[in-house]
């Protein structure tokens, strides 16, 4: 089961609080633990029942799953679609660091699953943006790539405050634009391989520019110069001969 970042913004999300039942909200939260990194999963009620409620198969039914799916869809928390005649779902604005998609997306859909679901918003609502980034991201050059760096640190469990963001933004704009993509890739790789307690602060990470180094964050030592070869020492007999002394 994948690890998930669940932020405090979910508590006061208008869409989640619009769900008409506790059962639907619990189902939605359980669903977040089984979908892939893009918020996708199979929408077959029997599969959802076994994955989301493995120890409650006797008290939860597929009818319950169908009802909660409908409620979540009407609250614009997820959408359902078919690919190759197979039902799938996607949690909208999932806000997780993307790795690998295990299930096809809505763009590959055969046809819309339901005409009742509202069209996806062009940009996440303010409440969702606050959930994805607990602190404001400054408006700077290369902001999308900067947001990837910030997202990688947040996904690794690093806590960022407004001061961290401002200092990181100042360092970011001082970098050449050609390094923005490298910095984002390096941040994502660092977040995948380190625990939060071993992550550097965001401003320090950008100042140290580890993406310009070879190896796992360390500079390779400069190559050592080959040792100078000393001429062979003359023997005692040769030294005496140089002085004109011949020993028979």
Q: Is 242 part of any domain?
A: no
Give the pLDDT band (50/70/90) at residue 192.
confident
Any domain includes 185 = yes
Q: Global pTM? A: 0.42
DSSP state of 112: B
Do both 12 and 103 map to the same domain?
Answer: yes
Asked, for residue 227, whether it belongs to a domain, the answer is: no
Q: Are residues 69 and 152 in the same domain?
A: no
**Residues 56 and 148 grouped into a single domain:** no
Domain total in the chain = 2
CATH, residue 103: 1.10.10.10
Question: Over 60: is that where the pLDDT of 246 sits?
Answer: yes
Q: Are residues 90 and 138 in the same domain?
A: no
User: Is 96 found in the same domain as 159?
Assistant: no
Q: What is the pLDDT of residues 147-189, one digit of tens each?
A: 888 888 888 788 888 888 888 888 888 888 889 899 989 888 8
- Write out the residue range of the structural domain in which residue 80 sits: 8-108
Give the DSSP per-residue string, 29-88.
HHHTTTS-TTSEEE--HHHHHHHH-TT-TTT--HHHHHHHHHHHHHTTSEEEEEETTEEE
Residue 119 falls within a domain, yes or no? Answer: no
């Amino acid at each position: 089961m994948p690890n998930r970042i669940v932020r405090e913004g979910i508590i006061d999300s208008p869409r989640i609080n619009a769900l008409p039942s506790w059962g639907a909200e619990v189902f939605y939260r359980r669903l977040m633990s089984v979908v892939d990194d893009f918020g996708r999963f199979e929408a077959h009620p029997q599969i959802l029942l076994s994955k989301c409620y493995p120890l409650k198969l006797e008290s939860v039914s597929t009818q319950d799953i169908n009802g909660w799916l409908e409620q979540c869809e009407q609250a614009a928390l997820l959408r359902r679609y078919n690919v190759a005649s197979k039902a799938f779902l996607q949690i909208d604005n999932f806000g997780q660091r993307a790795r690998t998609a295990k299930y096809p997306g809505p763009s590959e859909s055969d046809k819309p699953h339901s005409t009742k679901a509202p069209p996806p918003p062009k940009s996440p609502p303010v409440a969702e943006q606050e959930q994805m980034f607990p602190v404001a991201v400054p408006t700077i050059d290369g902001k999308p790539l900067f947001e990837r760096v910030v997202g990688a640190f947040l996904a690794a469990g690093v806590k960022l405050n407004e001061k961290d963001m401002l200092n990181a933004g100042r360092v970011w704009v001082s970098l050449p634009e050609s390094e923005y993509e490298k910095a984002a890739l390096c941040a994502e790789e660092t977040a995948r391989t380190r625990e939060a307690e071993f992550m550097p602060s965001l401003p320090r990470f950008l100042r140290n520019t580890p993406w310009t180094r070879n190896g796992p964050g360390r500079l390779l030592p400069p190559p050592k110069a080959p040792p100078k070869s000393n001429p062979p020492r003359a023997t005692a007999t040769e030294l005496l001969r140089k002085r004109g002394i011949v020993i028979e």
